[in-house]
Structure 1
Amino acid sequence: MSKPQSPCLPEVDLPGVDAQHHSADSQVQAQSEEQKVPVISVEGKKVTCTGQYPSILECLEDADVEVHYHCRDGFCGACRVTLEQGKVVYPQGEPLAFVGEGEILTCCSLPVTDIKITLD
């Protein structure tokens, strides 16, 4: 069994590198990258998305950032925002609502890296 992981903290894969040949410096760097908590930049605010939140929407709501939503499950698309930079994942699978290039649904996504979004 593998250990459970916080949805906001992705595992760090180092392609082509054998774990036995890591130097102490690269191990420390990989650990710090694993432990880095993603930050969401929106409307001049910086919001930390810790593992306690199941979605970007809930991270933003807790920081008093108003984001439109309806279903909270990726069906309607009302929470669609523009992703200016960074990377997100959809832990429950791709949403059913249409998501255009450069857009994400905040209700069912989580940041993998620091992200910058623009509310529509």
Structure 2
Amino acid sequence: MPKVQVNSDTLLEYDNQGNLLTALEQAKFHVHYQCRQGYCGACRCRLVSGDIRYLQEPLAFVRSGEFLPCCSIPIGDIAIELVD
């Protein structure tokens, strides 16, 4: 199972079920969201290392180094930072 390091300290295992937003919520992380489908961009996070794959391409603008966990999954181990 891929490991997800969050904010440089907390490590969780992604169980290959659902998207990264769901995994973060199950691990009790508070992530802002609205649409849960890549339209609004409210859940954006920084990708520090590793790679993600979009289950569906987001319609929201995503800057370089950022991603939307509501419509993505990790490809191997990743490190992310939650954006306030």
Q: TM-score, normalised by structure 1?
A: 0.66
Offset of residue 78 of structure 1: 0.2
2:39 alignment partner in structure 1: 75
- Amino acid of the structure 2 residue aligned with 1:46: L
Larger C-alpha radius of gyration, 1 or 2?
Answer: 1
Gaps of 5+ in 2: none
- Over residues 63-85 of structure 1, what are the superposed CA-to-partner deviations in whole Å (9 max), with x where a residue is unaligned? 10111111000000000011000
Q: Tell me, in whole angstroms, the C-alpha distance in 2 between the residues paired with 1:56 and 1:65.
A: 11
Q: Tell me, in whole angstroms, the C-alpha distance in 1 between the residues paired with 2:80 and 2:51.
A: 11
- Aligned residue among 6, 12, 15 for 1:50: 15
Verify: 1:88 aligned to 2:52, yes or no. yes
Offset of residue 57 of structure 1: 0.4
Q: TM-score, normalised by structure 2?
A: 0.93
Q: Tell me, in whole angstroms, the C-alpha distance in 2 between the residues paired with 1:107 and 1:90.
A: 9
Structure with larger RCO (C-alpha < 8 A, sep 6+): 2
Bigger helix share: 1
- Over residues 79-108 of structure 1, what are the superposed CA-to-partner deviations in whole Å (9 max), with x where a residue is unaligned? 00110000000122x110011100000100
Runs in 1 of length 4+ with deviation above 3 angstroms?
Answer: none
The alignment covers a number of residue pairs equal to: 82
1:110 alignment partner in structure 2: 73
CA RMSD of superposed structures (Å): 0.8
- Amino acid of the structure 2 residue aligned with 1:88: I
Gaps of 5+ in 1: 1-36
- State the identity %: 48
